[in-house]
Structure 1
């Protein structure tokens, strides 16, 4: 029997690459002769570069950049060839890069993501895929656009800072000095959300809390991002605030739309890059997984896309999850079977600490069911 392992990461504990390795080891312990294809997945958040690095020919490009708190840092991206490059926002300004005690969107920036784009442009890359999920920011892409040349002035005509707190001070925007090379560059944005920039379903109200924002900050950010968004809309002559996905990554999706990028399903872009469809057709069973599963798993998340492909080619798709919230019947619309890896009531701390063992033991049981 040939098995395809194509899980997403178990956020906060295991990368998609590590999840794949554990699943494969569990199956081998049950039957050393079982064949496997390993294709770690991602949907535009953390782990996207690692998933692509596992499955594609590439050059790892390191560069100096500004970290999420404005510190000097180093990061990396993938050069697939002379034209194409892949950048991961979470690798530059991701929430895990900010210590829990310092998580506050007032003090984080997307500036380093703009520096990554500049670096790729300097190398001659003109076809960029940028994964933007998992950010620590709520700056509406202010820092990123500043790094690319946008001028933002306060009511005294002074350049404002590059952090989230600075969005509320912007009175004037000038895009005339934006990097002209962007006009000849194709930018595809891998994202898994369709929220607008502002409003009750916008970036601030839905996602800022997990980045450390207080209730008061959330209300303030929603207002300041709306004002900022209107200034950019006026500058470019387009209405983008309510565009689906503009609220992705704390409004970074909006900033990318403003410079002509296209928002696409992160899971589909990654699956295309790692040739997942071809792999699905050449196996008997597909196994995927993620840290937490609910009805949202069916809409744009990596495991849901994996299961869609499996269904398309008539292959069973099994889901192994750190936790399942909601009705199994909904998940069974795509997944043949769904399993939680947690053995009984456990605290979150226990689950994170023992994630490898829980996943290994649960996968072994699935392997015994399939192979015996």
Structure 2
């Protein structure tokens, strides 16, 4: 959803209120399992009105490649949802969808296919979790005629380097006797060879654009993000070995050779490249079978959702994330918004349930959804709504005291 309105007048209200005050842009991420980006923005707007009743509000419902990516694209540019039965990270069939943006362009969201949001904490099983559902969705889009596919990477429960997606696209993982191996991380050490030719044939002429929620390469992924997917000191070494072995298997399979294009980097090089570690490395695997580009999902989606540049120019931007940690400042939406505005010396307020990493500079302020310690007993329903509104109110008043919100 992309909306603009002033004061207490709802969108489309023809009445004119007082002259608008300084502009505030609301550009939150979704709160996984609690609220969509649009719902978060609606609650934040209530708090802004309390602090600055005449402020000109601009809302940009967005994502960074993780949860809510299809919603952000659909709200901004339309498209047609195509229902799909695909497997989640644990192999359970679930109803989901991919998005056709036009006759040749589609979008797939890994978080809706093998995401953390579909699993309880006690269900996390990273050594046996698979990205197969992502391959199934890409295959469905290609079958429908898509040749350009946006792949939102983030919020997944997998660390399989895209091996499951490759298998769903037709790649064959074989042991030293030529027998098929299901490519879970726990089983990858038994794989002696990968035949990528069926997947490469399926995706011939297809370009994948990876919208990654973190800059980290796959070589550093597990150290930074494995814990949220269920990795521990006990099982982490197995996952690390599995991804290293996968990189060697894909390197041995040979580079992707598309007529009329320069040779693609090999798997060893991709293993060290920024952005390919997002989503448990799914993009890393996909790059071995299709022409692929990778970059910031936040920046890519901002270009689509906010072509007027309201996020850059507003006097204050308020963004939100469930948990702000070190990854936030390496590609996640709040960090990307703050980075864009820093050069203009414009402030960014970040609202979150928890802050686990220091703020990057004086142009960023932190505002808890609840001031309770530990976090509130139930960050849902009315408590969540009021917490978001209160945090936005405090954010506005913080920058009013600094004098920055007086600058238009």
TM-score (norm 2): 0.80
Q: Secondary structure at the match of 2:46?
A: helix
Separation in 2 of the partners of 1:56 and 1:17?
A: 15
- Paired with 2:281 and 2:326, the residues of 1 have a C-alpha distance of 24
8 A contact 2:185–2:242 mirrored in 1: no
Aligned equivalent of 2:331, options 300, 315, 326:
300
1:116 matched to 2:152: no
Residue 220 in structure 1 maps to residue 238 in structure 2: yes
Equivalences, count: 366
Distance 1:174-1:276 versus aligned 2 partners, 3 A rule: same
1:340 maps to 2:361: no
Q: 1:206 to 1:365 in 2, by over 3 A?
A: closer
Q: Offset of 1:221 from its aligned partner?
A: 1.9
Give the direction of change, closer, same or farther, for the CA distance of 1:116–1:287 in structure 2 (3 Å limit): same
Counterpart in the other structure of 2:261: none
TM-score scaled to structure 1, two decimals? 0.88
Q: Give the distance between the partners of 2:367 and 2:80, measured in 1 at CA.
A: 37
1:231 aligns with 2:249: yes
Query: Could you say which residue in structure 2 is the equivalent of 1:15?
Result: 36
Question: Distance in 2 between the 1:138 and 1:26 partners?
Answer: 39
| Alignment of 1:362 onto 2:391 | yes
Could you say which residue in structure 1 is the equivalent of 2:310? 279
Q: 1:207 to 1:316 in 2, by over 3 A?
A: closer
Residue of structure 1 equivalent to 2:171? 150
Larger displacement relative to structure 2 (57-66 or 282-291): 282-291
Q: Give the Cα–Cα distance (whole angstroms) in 2 for the partners of residues 229 and 346 of structure 1.
A: 41
The structure-2 alpha-carbon separation of the partners of 1:292 and 1:197, relative to structure 1 and needing over 3 Å to count, comes to: closer
Counterpart secondary structure, 1:322: strand
Given that 1:271 and 1:277 are in contact with CA atoms closer than 8 Å, whether structure 2 keeps it comes out as no
Identify which of 102, 109, 117 aligns with 1:81: 102
Which of 254, 258, 266 is 2:288 aligned to? 258
Does residue 243 of the first structure (1) align with residue 269 of the second (2)? no
**Structure 2 counterparts to residues 157-236 of structure 1, below 5 A:** 157-198=178-219, 201-203=220-222, 205-236=223-254
The alpha carbon displacement at 1:228 in A equals 2.1
SS in 1 for 2:151: strand
Instruction: Indicate how the Cα distance of structure 1 residues 177 and 217 shifts in structure 2: closer, same or farther if over 3 A, else same.
Output: same
The 2-side partners of 1:185 and 1:131 are apart by 16
Taking a change above 3 Å as real, the CA distance of residues 308 and 276 of structure 1, as seen in their structure-2 partners, is farther
8 Å contact 2:114–2:133 — kept in the other structure? yes
Q: Is the 8 A contact 1:280 1:313 kept in 2?
A: no
Per-residue deviation, 1:62: 1.4
- Cα displacement (A) at 1:283: 4.2
* C-alpha distance 320-182 of structure 1, shift in aligned 2 (>3 A): same
Distance 1:312 1:125 in 2: 38
Secondary structure at 1:121 match in 2: helix
2:61 pairs with one of 37, 40, 46: 40
- Is 1:50 paired with 2:71? yes
Q: What secondary structure does 1:63 align onto? A: strand
Give the equivalent residue in structure 2 for 1:107.
128
Q: Secondary structure at the match of 1:177?
A: helix
User: Kindly tell me: are residues 246 and 365 of structure 1, through their superposed partners in 2, closer, same or farther at Cα, counting changes over 3 Å?
Assistant: closer
